[in-house]
Amino acid sequence: MTQDSSALIASGAQAVQARIPDFPKTAIVLGSGLGGFAKGLVDATTVPYGDIPGFSRSTVVGHSGNLIAGTLEGKRIAVMQGRIHTYEGHGGAAIATPIRILKRLGVETLILTNAAGGLNLDLGPGSIVMIEDHINFSGFNPLIGPNDDSFGPRFPDMSDPYDRELRAKLEAAAAVAGVAIKKGVYIFVLGPNFETAAEIRMFAKLGADLVGMSTVPECLVARHAGMKVAGISIVTNYGTGIKSTQQTHEETLATAEQAGQRLEQLLRVFVQRI
């Protein structure tokens, strides 16, 4: 990491602390169509990404661009209302910096949510899926470049990218909340185009259950920094060729918003167990 990057992270953390001195230790990144979850926070403080050095505003519909801290069911949490993506033209530093700012603010647990495509008939639109592992098929890694030993080692271990203990608590929370949850492997692609039918068949043969254009870069940065990570996908559509329907981002948003109510029920119970 360059000296400029370190200064940017310090500046970003200071800007947030000036508005939210008691920053929570648990943070949730909200994916496409899930930004409404933040409305459930009590006594919330909102800081627009534009006010935070190192945070970039997403250009994608469904990603509002706010960092919010508040209380959910008596538990203090922070919410990233939207994320940036590599397909928007952002490099590794732009994606890594917000996660590292959260680390500097004291975040220990990061919950990553996303909208994803299902790669088999068992994962239809509206399914909520706990990510057990991932495949990075993008050729992109935000950890490329000089390593900052103050965050983590040059070669971080990825034997448990999505924390086993958190996964067990997530399953238990789903049972209590009465929300059906499935398990799967997420494959990360750059996008922004939806995948071809041939690609979907290949991804399934590689062992993937879900496909999407986010989450993995954030997981890599968070794990490098020693944060515990949980991942949750809402399946918004079948992958190309599984069903003879054309995919659109509008469909993604609509399905995510519908399933978002069930995800909120699940998260309300889950955050109490962290």
Q: Kindly name the residue from 38, 213, 222, 227 that is annotated as catalytic.
A: 213
Tokens of 18: 């000036």
Q: Closest Cα to residue 109, out of 233, 262, 225?
A: 225
pTM for this entry: 0.93
203-258 per-position pLDDT tens digit: 999 999 999 999 999 999 999 999 999 999 999 999 999 976 666 667 666 676 77
Exposure of 187 in the CB half-sphere (CA atoms within 13 A): 22
Q: Does residue 249 carry a catalytic annotation?
A: yes
pLDDT at residue 82 in the model:
84
Are residues 209 and 119 in contact, defined by beta-carbon separation less than 8 angstroms?
A: yes
pLDDT at residue 164 in the model:
98
pLDDT at residue 28 in the model:
96
HEC profile for the chain? CCHHHHHHHHHHHHHHHHHCCCCCCEEEEECCCCHHHHHHCEEEEEEEHHHCCCCCCCCCCCCCCEEEEEEECCEEEEEEECCCCHHHCCCHHHHHHHHHHHHHCCCCEEEEEEEEEECCCCCCCCCEEEEEEEEECCCCCCCCCCCCCCCCCCCCCCCCCCCHHHHHHHHHHHHHHCCCCEEEEEEECCCCCCCCHHHHHHHHHCCCCEEECCCHHHHHHHHHCCCEEEEEEEEEEECECCECCCCCHHHHHHHHHHHHHHHHHHHHHHHHHC
Identify the bridge partners of residue 120 per DSSP, sorted by sequence position. Answer: none
Q: Which amino acid is at 55?
A: F
Are residues 205 and 239 in contact, defined by beta-carbon separation less than 8 angstroms?
A: no
pLDDT at residue 196 in the model:
96
pLDDT at residue 3 in the model:
54
Q: Does residue 237 carry a catalytic annotation?
A: yes
2-33 per-position pLDDT tens digit: 657 899 999 999 999 999 999 999 999 998 66
pLDDT at residue 56 in the model:
84
Q: Does residue 214 carry a catalytic annotation?
A: yes
29-61 per-position pLDDT tens digit: 998 667 678 888 999 999 999 999 999 876 665
pLDDT at residue 60 in the model:
60
Q: Kindly name the residue from 134, 237, 238, 259 that is annotated as catalytic.
A: 237
Q: Does residue 85 carry a catalytic annotation?
A: yes
Q: Kindly name the residue from 13, 15, 32, 80 that is annotated as catalytic.
A: 32
At the fourth CATH level, which superfamily is domain 3-273?
Answer: Nucleoside phosphorylase domain (3.40.50.1580)
pLDDT at residue 245 in the model:
62
Alpha-carbon span 213 to 192, nearest angstrom:
8
Q: Kindly name the residue from 15, 27, 49, 63 that is annotated as catalytic.
A: 63
Q: Does residue 87 carry a catalytic annotation?
A: yes
Are residues 69 and 76 in contact, defined by beta-carbon separation less than 8 angstroms?
A: yes
59-113 per-position pLDDT tens digit: 665 557 899 999 998 999 999 998 888 888 888 899 999 999 999 999 999 999 9
Q: Kindly name the residue from 10, 147, 249, 251 that is annotated as catalytic.
A: 249
Q: Does residue 162 carry a catalytic annotation?
A: no
Kindly report the number of other CB atoms within 10 A of residue 59's CB atom: 13
Q: Does residue 264 carry a catalytic annotation?
A: no
Q: Closest Cα to residue 41, out of 84, 76, 92?
A: 76
pLDDT at residue 73 in the model:
87
Q: Kindly name the residue from 13, 115, 174, 230 that is annotated as catalytic.
A: 115
Q: Does residue 32 carry a catalytic annotation?
A: yes
Q: Kindly name the residue from 162, 214, 218, 257 that is annotated as catalytic.
A: 214
Q: Kindly name the residue from 88, 195, 218, 257 that is annotated as catalytic.
A: 88
Q: Kindly name the residue from 69, 80, 85, 162 that is annotated as catalytic.
A: 85
pLDDT at residue 59 in the model:
66
Domain boundaries, the chain: 3-273
113-158 per-position pLDDT tens digit: 999 999 999 999 999 999 999 999 999 999 999 999 999 999 999 9
pLDDT at residue 150 in the model:
93
Query: Which residues, in sequence order, are CB contacts of 223 under 8 Å at separation 6+?
Result: 152, 156, 157, 158, 161, 229
Strands 26-30 and 75-81 come out as: parallel
